[in-house]
Structure 1
Amino acid sequence: MRALFPGSFDPVTEGHLDVLRRAASLFDEVVVCVMANAGKTGRFPVTERLDRLRAVTTGLGNVSVDSHTDGLLVDYCRSAGIDVVVRGVRDGADAEHETRLAHVNRELAGIETFFIPADPALAHISSTLLTAVHASRSS
């Protein structure tokens, strides 16, 4: 079974990689996909995020890297023949938000969502936090 692990990956974090490795051990193939996020302004260009993801996934033979920055996640899933979306959840707020998205994806296209809880040692890390820390150190 093929699964999609979508995100902005701006930047990719150890938490993302942990979820990706765990998903790769459960599914036949995992497509990690850089998606557009209307609520975020990208720090790194999509091409750079793709290059970084390719670099850190070289040892995962059943993982491929792609992007979809125009349209809905369900559109990508339909065109790629993917029926499962993998999402990492760090806390209750993540779970609540992701559950709402999962319901929409299931209603729109029959796409199921597979939640992987964050490793407790990594749950405090987010791309947004890393960007904020980097910005404060650059000032």
Structure 2
Amino acid sequence: MIKKALFPGSFDPLTNGHIDTIERSAKLADYLFIAVATNTSKKNLFDADEKIELIQLATRHLENVSVIEHTNGLTVDLAKKVGASTLIRGLRNAEDFEYEMNIAAMNKTQNPEIETIILMASQQHRFLSSSLIKEVAFFGGDVSNLVPTDVNIAIKKKYSAFEYEDEKS
């Protein structure tokens, strides 16, 4: 059993695929930290505080999980800081495989003591991505069965605010 693990991601927004991976990860470790990072190469729908709150709501049923912010620095350094010996990453498809393999190799060069475990997404979630969720929701599509309820409500509020701002222009 892994004592402490770190599951990093941008989670913008959190999907049911993320939740599935978090729940499965929580069974592998005595304690799981979910590290919320901001991906500066993407346009974010939610800020870090909003993402943390939404993840806390969606994972409140998991007693061995906490959510932390990862503002800067290397993920392996954050893992060391919180006492995690393992990074957990999710994998949806072949495209993700290449990316995750390179990240795991780079992390190993930075801290050889930190292991990476890659969990395959469950079949029903393999097509899900945060960017796809945002795209569908932006154009009024229904993503309610693809994200946790509180996330769906927050997405609707964000996009209705954007629509209101456009109407004012």
* TM-score, normalization by structure 1: 0.95
Structure 2: gaps (5+ residues): 141-158, 164-169
Report Cα offsets for 1:69-95 as digits up to 9, x if no partner. Answer: 222212211211212110110001101
Task: Select the residue among 21, 35, 57 that pairs with 2:23.
Answer: 21
> Aligned with 1:9: secondary structure?
coil
Determine what percentage of the aligned residue pairs are the same residue. 37
Asked if 1:128 is matched to 2:159, the reply is: no
Deviation for aligned residue 1:39: 2.1
> Aligned with 2:125: secondary structure?
coil
In the alignment, which residue of structure 2 is the partner of 1:38? 40
In the alignment, which residue of structure 2 is the partner of 1:81? 83
Report the Cα distance in structure 2 between the residues aligned to 1:56 and 1:21, rounded to whole angstroms: 10
Report the Cα distance in structure 2 between the residues aligned to 1:88 and 1:50, rounded to whole angstroms: 19
Asked if 1:118 is matched to 2:146, the reply is: no
Deviation for aligned residue 1:36: 2.2
* TM-score, normalization by structure 2: 0.79
Amino acid at match of 2:139: S
Report the Cα distance in structure 2 between the residues aligned to 1:39 and 1:120, rounded to whole angstroms: 28
> Aligned with 1:28: secondary structure?
strand
In the alignment, which residue of structure 2 is the partner of 1:105? 107
Instruction: Name which one, 1 or 2, has greater alpha-carbon Rg.
Output: 2
Report the Cα distance in structure 2 between the residues aligned to 1:27 and 1:78, rounded to whole angstroms: 16
Ranges of 4+ aligned residues in structure 1 off by more than 6 Å: none
Report Cα offsets for 1:59-113 as digits up to 9, x if no partner. Answer: 1011111111222212211211212110110001101100100001111012211
* Alignment RMSD (CA, Å): 1.2
Report Cα offsets for 1:29-76 as digits up to 9, x if no partner. Answer: 110110122321211011110000000111101111111122221221
Count of aligned pairs: 139
Report the Cα distance in structure 2 between the residues aligned to 1:22 and 1:57, rounded to whole angstroms: 12
Amino acid at match of 2:60: T
In the alignment, which residue of structure 2 is the partner of 1:63? 65
Structure 1: gaps (5+ residues): none
